[in-house]
Amino acid sequence: MRKLLRTNLYFIIPQLIFLVAGLVMLYFMGSEATHIYFNEINSPFLDQFFKYLTHLGDGLVFVPMLLFFLMISYRKTIAFALGIIISNIFVQSGKHLFFPEALRPSKYFEEVSSYELHLVEGVDLHSYHSFPSGHTATAFLVLAMLAMLSRNNWVKVLCFALAVFVSFSRVYLSQHFLEDIIVGSVIGTLSMFFAWLWMEKSNKQWLDSGIARKNV
């Protein structure tokens, strides 16, 4: 556990800063005002940028990642798959079991507030199941995994930065509130960390081989 934390400080510390900054904003401004603040930061370029970047949080990104890990390591494949399962249990429980009526920003401002949101053309907006953000959990899970695989600290920072951009796309597109992506980021990262730690406990040698990499 300590080794995993120590070798991934360049991902963990920025995420802690992100969490604290987000919670401070929510505490002093509230959810609605925070969303309005971010919604007013927009441009035609950002509309297109975040419209396409948000797809990196789609569940479909799991497929090429799983295939890649199958080629190099069964241990990493199982750890990644386990991380996906853990993350999805928490995300779907939140969305459908505990907070099924949680309004998405577009629906909230339509029903509760008179503020007119800046919306991006061509984005299919959802109305409910806002908490937590599944796209954010996916982005942080995938990029936490890539960060753990890299020995380069700057790669870890870049992985975190990309995860934040994908997460923020959900707020920019008014698919989620800030609190949705904060919790989603925690779910994604912790799911991957615990899955990795669980698989590291096994000393079975065959786990370190893969389809294209036989363990000698």
Whether 165 and 21 have beta carbons less than 8 Å apart is answered as: no
Could you tell me if 14 and 157 are in contact, meaning their C-beta atoms sit under 8 angstroms apart?
Answer: yes
Is-above-0.85 flag for pTM? yes
119-178 pLDDT, tens digit each: 999 999 999 999 999 999 999 999 999 999 999 999 999 999 999 999 999 999 999 999
Domain definitions of the chain by residue range: 2-208
State how far the Cα of 14 lies from the Cα of 131, in Å rounded to an integer: 23
| pLDDT for residue 112 | 85
pLDDT (0 to 100) of residue 78: 94
Are the C-beta atoms of 147 and 159 separated by less than 8 Å? Answer: yes
pLDDT tens-digit readout, 19-48: 999 999 999 999 999 999 999 999 999 999
CB 176 within 8 A of CB 33: no
Q: Are 142 and 11 in contact (CB under 8 A)?
A: no
Cα gap 62→1, rounded to integer Å: 25
Q: Which class is domain 2-208?
A: mainly alpha
CB 167 within 8 A of CB 181: yes
